[in-house]
Amino acid sequence: MSFRTPHPSHPLILDDIRGAQKMLSGVARMTPLEGSRHLSQLVGAPVHLKCENLQRTGSFKLRGAYVRIAGLRPEERAAGVVAASAGNHAQGVALASSLLGVRSTVFMPVGAPLPKVAATREYGADVRLHGHVVDETLAAAQEYARATGAVFIHPFDHHDIIAGQGTVGLEILEQCPEVRTILVGVGGGGLVAGIATAVKALRPDVKVIGVQAQAAAAYPPSLRAGRPVAVDTAPTMADGIKVGRPGDVPFAIVDELVDDVRTVSEDALSSALLLCLERAKMVVEPAGASPVAALLSAPETFQGPVVAVLSGGNVDPLVLQRILRHGMAAAGRYLSLRLRLTDRPGALATMLGVLSVVDANVLDVGHVRTDPRLGLTEVEVELHLETKGPEHCEEVRAALRDAGYVVME
């Protein structure tokens, strides 16, 4: 459903975004637009992926950061800039500052993934680890700004930031002039606000739809209330769009111009990331895969041609490993089972023979012999299997039950 309500004024205009595009010439690359045959078949219309995961620093964030810092007065540049981020914004600010010859300090949470911390340092920022949650990190950065006079670079709540992100919308219209629907992941709202401003000014018939993780969806209640509303967020793999309150500046634009904001589950996010990796050969972080998750969740509800913005590809390899396993389970291609065997020689081999007949690939086997719930002659076996889909999972369960095993999950 749509939550749009009229707004009396518009805080950003197309000329701002066109000016940002000129400023970014030779700095941000025009990322490719790749067709997806699999998603096109699901939707019943052409689907294209806007690959901002291939942007410099691995996300769209460079665009807004560069425009914001480039617009500072000389005395502001001399004071340096400061930002707080767990990843993409940190890297965008670091590289933009280096390109512009501005000193940057970036506060990151203590538990930030090491590859993101290392990349931010390599782009030239003075990285300071502070706090265990982003709110603590943000407070430290703002205190640093007050104490030193450094300019705080907000990740989404500033006109220049949104103008820079809006250049993605201009590129989409140039690369796919026949587009009818654009899907964009939404955290604070800077990217979708910029894209909507550019697209609606030139093609008001194109639908712009935001996508949030169900566990961190502040926009739907805010749009219903007509003002930014803070919500309690739950853990989500899509940490790049985990924002508890919309920004004031992007909210006004989203409320006026964005046609709908949808939410997607964790299962849909992991399945989308797996699809991007396998079918599109794209390494995408969960937040960046959120538009694909929306397509997988309700493909029949989108009018094509569709462009889904893959907003970032900075995912920690260890996190990626866990998410892929989750995605395989959600797709019915990874199955975990527990069952009890008689603790005697050959019992495990017999059970594995049943799995061999139904062509289930055993990835891991664990034994428990000391649980008080077990009988003296029993052993509990935990199995991790690679399967071929939901129907194959049911076939595996049925084969084990038919062989006399009690299957637990």
User: Which active-site residues does the annotation give?
Assistant: 61, 311
Q: Which of 67, 115, 66 is nearest to 87 (CA)?
A: 115
Task: Evaluate the CA torsion angle 308, 213, 239, 251 in order and state its sign.
Answer: positive
Residue 334's DSSP bridge partners are: 386
Cα separation, 373 vs 392, whole angstroms: 30
Q: 383-394: buried (b, 16+ CB within 10 Å) or exposed (e) per residue? A: bbbebeeeebbe
DSSP character string of 8-40: S--S--HHHHHHHHHHTTTTS----EEE-HHHH
Cα angle 222-210-239, degrees, rounded to a multiple of 5 = 85
Return left, alpha or beta for 131; rule: phi > 0 is left, psi -120 to 50 is alpha, else beta. left
Are the beta carbons of 339 and 397 closer than 8 angstroms? no
- Answer whether 314's CB lies under 8 Å from 285's CB: yes
Strands of 232-370, DSSP E: 260-264, 306-310, 334-342, 361-368
**Is the separation of the CB atoms in 307 and 181 below 8 Å?**
yes
Q: Which of 74, 64, 92, 279 is nearest to 166 (CA)?
A: 64
Helices 190-202 and 14-23, axial angle in degrees (round to 10): 110
Q: In the sheet that 104-108 helps form, which strands lie side by side, from edge to edge?
A: 126-129, 104-108, 81-84, 151-152
Pair type for strands 378-386 and 104-108? unpaired
